[in-house]
């Protein structure tokens, strides 16, 4: 009977169990204090009910020891919860080094997903079980939110920037994918599924659905088509070998890390940050390059190294 | 307190001193203005209520039983906008605050009576914009107006609704200023700060938030308007803006705003618990200062609405720690109210039933707030029905229960009439049961993963949604009953007399309904608040 009436969502990722344990601890605390307060109210209300009209009870001003006691108990409890929850959060928010990167573009009202080798899907995400997956996400219009309840992960998908989330599925099967952030008329239809498969099966699926070339290869073509190559690698602009995640010195003396966000900004708003030693001659490609093409260019730049950071 | 209750020898009071619509629309009497507000917010409560009913009927079926998705979205947007900005924020301050603060401090009116009337007119103009937005096609941005949806993508009457909220903010600021000045400057001789009724303390803390916070949301709304009408790039990245900036501005006000909604109720409950157990409040200073502590910390926690927005891990950690800090003054209040019952003389008059209901439901709302303040669990729970349940426990189970409790408590003072208390107790019970049946299942369905603001949803969530809709129909009945007997009592209720509950407090020492000038002679205060019985109160 309880199968039709579950008390917790399915646990299908490595982090789900830890979160549920904290959830049940919090539930226990909630039940305990609710019980204490309700019991006290009922007990006092009945025990000290008015027995005669106009009766005057003895007056009590308060009690410092009690005030200290019932401030200290919640204080200790919230400190415990905070430390527990935050350490879980910190360790959950760090993606493992070896995670496979998949790109997500949200738009009203669909999810577009791109695997590094070029396979694409809409509203469905196929992933292998037992392998860490990192999603790099952006939106073409409003804010959306990528939410997989069975994995206990959720992250907003924001236009104009990249956000990321990671998970490692522990169970094969089909799980809900929801848009969590209200995004307009068909928000409730911006849903889909995450299909977790055995690794071999996943490989088979990949080779079956691989129609296009890899993202990096598409990026390389764009790199030529938009004539990036005429400056970059021709001495007029910084080369991209071993560029991804390197430290870039800027003309104002500061340094930035060449992550996805920086590459994106350099292409759309080249004058925002200038690589020290170069002239600000790069034109903006805003309006000419789609979100998807941006991701492909980034994949291409990443593929130029350094080797260990290359997306597999 | 000392002023003696004077029987109203002349029979002239603020209600019958003048008749005719003009005498109401041009009044500067804080008591009449309170009634103007009472009528207007009741109207908006009905609009908000009707949209809630439609939402709950729609959600009986997973594919949606009633509305198109676009209409559904307009329904929950209107529900949120109306209930928050036009009902809950003004609810207790503009009605009971207006009516009672001058009397509680022993003054003849608020510091600025005309500004008080002005703030009602501003509220009405704001309300007209909102009603227009509703009639002219509705808005579908949600009450949160997140960008760039609201600035670039949403159709419908976004501007009208945003203007409504913007204008309503000024009404709120003016009311807050008026209260602050009144409480500072117009207290009766002998009424020191530590003799003030806790309702006044709570209204003071609320007013401070209103005055400091509201301008920020006003700025945010103006920026939304500029971007929507003139494509000024502030929030939309396509125009070079930052969409997350809006959330910072919005929540910088709207988190404190949730305390604008709950603090007044806490003040009301402090009054009720003392009166109906005939005891001093337990830990007066702890309750008073915890209101101020809540008001102060509430400005520092807005980031807990943005844990999944891409905000940095460190920012999230700080916001989480501060959010947990709010739980402590909230807990202090709950414990002190409960302790006030200890060895009291507890009666079960209807306002007390509401007050006890408030304590229980607020406790649950506050405790579930910890699930959301906690980072690891909030990632899963954010934007699900769990959040909906959490804040309804506080805003409906808490704030609205407090509002109804206060209304029942001071109704005899306001109208001079008693209502049938048996009906009132019955209604309170119906509301308590209906409320829990409506919102408790939402904790479960939220944890199971059902996102909020979904017009259609997967079938496995249907059972819990039906439970919730069933509860809502009970809750609806619970709200209609008081509407009927309170209106009935205005004509047929027996006369209340100046102090039907045997309460302390200056407002009870003047006839019911009070004369326009509140007191024949301005009172002099020589005692603490809540001097029930013998003076030798002791410390345990
Ligand atoms: C006792 C301490 C409280 C804590 C620790 C707390 C915590 C939180 C947190 C962390 C959230 C964000 C959840 C999310 O969106 O993922 C939240 C949402 C909310 N809370 Fe509370 N809360 C508390 C008390 C209150 C009170 C007193 C009220 C109102 C009177 C309130 C009303 C709300 C509302 C309206 C929202 C949701 C806003 C929205 O997204 O539409 N909370 N609360
Ligand atoms: Cu959405
Ligand atoms: Cu908040």
Complete DSSP assignment for A19-30: HHHHHHHHHHHH
Chain B residues whose CB is inside 8 A of the A159 CB are: 148, 236-238, 243
What is the number of structural domains in chain A? 2
CATH classification of the domain holding A287 = 1.10.760.10
SS3 content of chain A, % helix, strand, coil (to 5): 40, 25, 35
Distance CA B460, CA B449 (A): 11
pLDDT in tens, B373-407: 999 999 999 999 999 999 999 999 999 999 999 99
Say if A62 falls within a structural domain. no
Say if A167 falls within a structural domain. yes
Sheet holding A110-114, edge to edge: A120-122, A110-114, A100-107, A132-139, A163-168
Are the Cβ atoms of B532 and A26 closer than 8 angstroms?
no
Say if A182 falls within a structural domain. yes
Looking at ligand 1, which atom is closest to the CA of residue B370? 5
Distance CA B176, CA A80 (A): 38
- Indicate whether A116 and A204 sit together in one domain: yes
B243, B148 contact by CB (below 8 A): yes
Output the residue whose Cα is nearest ligand 1's atom 41. Answer: B144
- Indicate whether A30 and A128 sit together in one domain: yes
Distance CA A24, CA A34 (A): 15
Are the Cβ atoms of A33 and B142 closer than 8 angstroms?
no
Q: By residue range, what is the domain housing residue B471?
A: 21-538
- Give the rounded distance of the alpha carbon of B430 from its chain centre: 20
Say if A51 falls within a structural domain. no
Q: By residue range, what is the domain housing residue A245?
A: 215-303
Single residue among A195, A212, A229 that ends a domain in this structure: A212
Say if A92 falls within a structural domain. yes
CATH classification of the domain holding B98 = 1.20.210.10
Which DSSP letter does residue B400 get?
I
User: What does each of the 312 residues of chain A score in pLDDT, given as a tens digit?
Assistant: 344 567 789 999 999 999 999 999 999 999 999 999 999 999 999 999 988 887 888 888 888 999 999 999 999 999 999 999 999 999 998 889 889 999 999 999 999 999 888 888 899 999 999 999 999 999 999 999 999 999 999 999 999 899 999 999 999 999 999 999 999 999 999 999 999 999 999 988 888 776 668 888 888 888 888 888 888 877 788 888 888 888 889 988 888 988 888 898 888 888 888 888 888 888 888 888 888 888 888 888 888 877 544 443
- Indicate whether A121 and A259 sit together in one domain: no
Q: From the CA of B143, how far away is ligand 3's center (Å)?
A: 14
When pLDDT is averaged across residues B61-73 and rounded to a whole number, the result is 92
Q: Is the pLDDT of residue B61 over 90?
A: yes
Output the residue whose Cα is nearest ligand 1's atom 6. Answer: B369
Say if B177 falls within a structural domain. yes
Q: From the CA of B370, how far away is ligand 3's center (Å)?
A: 11
- Indicate whether A261 and A193 sit together in one domain: no
Say if B7 falls within a structural domain. no
Burial of A280 (0-12, 13-18, 19+ CB in 10 A): exposed
Say if B4 falls within a structural domain. no
pLDDT in tens, B491-522: 999 999 999 998 988 999 999 899 999 998 88
Which one, of A188, A161, A143, A147, lies nearest residue B146 by Cα? A143
Say if B101 falls within a structural domain. yes
CB-based contacts of A65: which residues, under 8 Å, 6+ apart? none
Quote the pLDDT of residue B484: 95
- Indicate whether A154 and A16 sit together in one domain: yes
pLDDT in tens, B317-371: 999 999 999 999 999 999 999 999 998 899 999 999 999 999 999 999 999 999 9
Say if B16 falls within a structural domain. no
- Indicate whether A201 and A264 sit together in one domain: no
Say if A137 falls within a structural domain. yes
- Indicate whether A204 and A219 sit together in one domain: no
- Indicate whether A12 and A155 sit together in one domain: yes
Looking at ligand 1, which atom is closest to the CA of residue B378? 16
Quote the pLDDT of residue B535: 54
Say if A3 falls within a structural domain. no
Size of interface A-B (CB pairs under 8 A): 288
Say if B108 falls within a structural domain. yes
Q: Output the CA torsion B326→B328→B330→B336 (10° steps).
A: -160
Q: From the CA of A157, how far away is ligand 2's center (Å)?
A: 10
pLDDT tier, B10 (very low <50, low <70, confident <90, very high otherwise): low
Say if B6 falls within a structural domain. no
Which one, of A135, A122, A292, A35, lies nearest residue B338 by Cα? A35
Q: Is the pLDDT of residue B20 over 70?
A: yes
Quote the pLDDT of residue B305: 96
pLDDT in tens, B77-136: 999 999 999 999 999 999 999 999 999 999 999 999 999 999 999 999 999 999 999 999
What is the number of structural domains in chain B? 1
Distance CA B492, CA A266 (A): 76
- Indicate whether A126 and A247 sit together in one domain: no
- Predicted TM-score (pTM) of this structure: 0.90
What are the phi and psi torsion angles at B295 (to 5°)? -60, -40
Output the residue whose Cα is nearest ligand 1's atom 16. Answer: B382
- Indicate whether A279 and A249 sit together in one domain: yes
Say if B45 falls within a structural domain. yes
- Indicate whether A93 and A155 sit together in one domain: yes
Say if A125 falls within a structural domain. yes
Distance CA A102, CA A37 (A): 49
Q: Which residues line ligand 1 (CB under 6 A)?
A: B 144, 258-259, 261-262, 304-305, 323, 326-327, 330, 366, 369-370, 372-373, 378, 381-382, 387, 390-391, 394-395, 399
Single residue among A212, A241, A276 that ends a domain in this structure: A212
B71, B29 contact by CB (below 8 A): no
Distance CA B527, CA B535 (A): 9
CATH classification of the domain holding A110 = 2.60.40.420
Single residue among A171, A197, A212 that ends a domain in this structure: A212
- Indicate whether A87 and A120 sit together in one domain: yes
- Structure tokens belonging to residue A90: 């910190």
Radius of gyration, alpha carbons of chain A: 27
Strand partners, A60: B538
Quote the pLDDT of residue A154: 96
């Amino acid at each position: 009977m309880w199968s039709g009436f579950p008390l917790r969502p399915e646990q299908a990722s490595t982090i789900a169990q830890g979160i549920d344990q904290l959830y049940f601890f919090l539930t226990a605390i909630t039940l305990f204090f609710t019980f204490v307060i309700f019991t006290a109210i009922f007990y006092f209300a009945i025990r000290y009910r008015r027995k005669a009209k106009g009766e005057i009870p003895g007056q009590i001003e308060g009690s410092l020891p009690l005030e200290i006691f019932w401030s200290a108990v919640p204080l200790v409890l919230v400190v415990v919860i905070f430390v527990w929850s935050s350490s879980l959060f910190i360790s959950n928010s760090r993606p493992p080094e070896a995670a496979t990167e998949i790109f997500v573009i949200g738009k009203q009202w669909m999810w577009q997903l791109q695997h590094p080798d070029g396979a694409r899907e809409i509203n469905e995400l196929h992933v292998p079980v037992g392998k860490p997956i990192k999603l790099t996400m952006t939106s073409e219009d409003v804010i959306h939110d990528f939410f997989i309840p069975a994995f206990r992960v959720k992250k907003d998908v924001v236009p104009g920037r990249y956000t990321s989330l990671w998970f490692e599925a522990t169970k094969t099967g089909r799980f809900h994918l929801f848009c969590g952030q209200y995004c307009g008329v068909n928000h409730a239809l911006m849903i889909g599924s995450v299909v977790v498969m055995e690794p071999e099966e996943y490989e088979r699926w990949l080779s079956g659905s691989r129609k296009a070339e890899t993202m990096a290869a598409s990026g390389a073509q764009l790199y030529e088509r938009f004539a990036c190559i005429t400056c970059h690698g021709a001495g007029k602009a910084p080369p991209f070998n071993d560029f991804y995640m390197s430290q870039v010195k800027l003309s104002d003396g500061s340094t930035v890390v060449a992550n996805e966000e920086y590459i994106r900004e350099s292409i759309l708003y080249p004058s925002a940050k200038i690589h020290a030693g170069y002239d600000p001659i790069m034109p903006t490609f805003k309006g000419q390059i789609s979100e998807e093409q941006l991701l492909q260019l980034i994949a291409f730049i990443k593929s130029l190294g350094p080797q260990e950071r290359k997306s597999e | 307190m000392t002023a003696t209750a004077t029987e109203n020898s002349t029979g002239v009071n603020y209600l019958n001193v003048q008749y005719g619509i003009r005498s109401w629309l041009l009044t500067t009497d804080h008591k009449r203005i309170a009634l103007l507000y009472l009528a207007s917010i009741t109207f908006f409560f009905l609009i908000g209520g009707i949209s809630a009913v439609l939402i709950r009927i729609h959600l009986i079926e997973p594919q949606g039983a009633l509305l198109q998705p676009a209409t559904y979205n307009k329904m929950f947007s209107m529900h949120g906008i109306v209930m928050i900005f036009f009902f809950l924020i003004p609810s207790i301050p503009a009605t009971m605050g207006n009516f009672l603060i001058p009397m509680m401090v022993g003054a003849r009116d608020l510091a600025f009576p005309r500004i008080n009337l002005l703030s009602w007119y501003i509220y009405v103009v704001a309300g007209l914009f909102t009603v227009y937005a509703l009639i002219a096609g509705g808005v579908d941005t949600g009450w949160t107006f997140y960008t760039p949806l609201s600035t670039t993508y949403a159709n419908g009457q976004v501007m009208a609704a945003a203007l409504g909220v913007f204008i309503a903010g000024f009404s709120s600021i003016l009311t807050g200023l008026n209260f602050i000045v009144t409480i500072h400057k117009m207290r009766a001789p002998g009424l020191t700060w530590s003799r003030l009724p806790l309702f006044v303390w709570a209204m003071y803390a609320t007013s401070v938030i209103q005055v400091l916070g509201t301008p920020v949301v006003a700025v945010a709304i103006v920026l939304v308007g500029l971007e929507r009408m003139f494509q000024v790039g502030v929030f939309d990245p396509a125009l070079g803006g930052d969409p997350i900036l809006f959330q910072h501005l919005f929540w910088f006000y709207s988190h404190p705003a949730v305390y604008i909604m709950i603090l007044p109720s806490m003040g009301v409950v402090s009054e009720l618990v003392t009166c109906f157990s005939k005891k001093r409040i337990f830990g007066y200073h702890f309750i008073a200062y915890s209101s101020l502590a809540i008001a102060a910390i509430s400005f520092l926690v807005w980031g807990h609405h943005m844990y999944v927005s891409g905000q940095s891990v460190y920012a999230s950690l700080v916001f989480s720690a501060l959010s947990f800090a709010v739980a402590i003054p909230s807990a202090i209040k709950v414990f002190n109210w409960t302790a006030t019952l200890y060895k009291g003389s507890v009666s079960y008059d209807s306002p007390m039933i509401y007050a006890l209901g408030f304590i229980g439901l607020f406790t649950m709302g506050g405790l579930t707030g910890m699930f959301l303040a906690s980072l690891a669990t909030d990632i899963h729970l954010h934007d699900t029905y769990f959040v909906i349940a959490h804040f309804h426990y506080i805003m409906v189970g808490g704030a609205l229960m407090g509002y109804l409790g206060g209304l029942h408590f001071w109704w005899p003072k306001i109208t001079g009439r008693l209502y049938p208390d048996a009906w009132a107790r019955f209604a309170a019970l119906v509301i308590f049961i209906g409320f829990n049946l409506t919102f408790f299942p939402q904790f479960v369905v939220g944890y199971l993963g059902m996102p909020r603001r979904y017009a259609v949803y997967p079938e496995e969530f249907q059972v819990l949604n039906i439970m919730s809709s069933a509860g809502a129909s009970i809750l609806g009945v619970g709200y209609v009953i008081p509407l009927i007997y309170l209106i009935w009592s205005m004509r047929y209720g027996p006369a209340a007399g100046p102090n039907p509950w045997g309460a302390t407090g200056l407002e009870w020492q003047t006839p019911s309904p009070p004369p326009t000038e509140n007191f024949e002679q301005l009172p002099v205060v020589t005692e603490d608040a809540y001097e029930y019985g013998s003076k030798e109160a002791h410390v345990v």
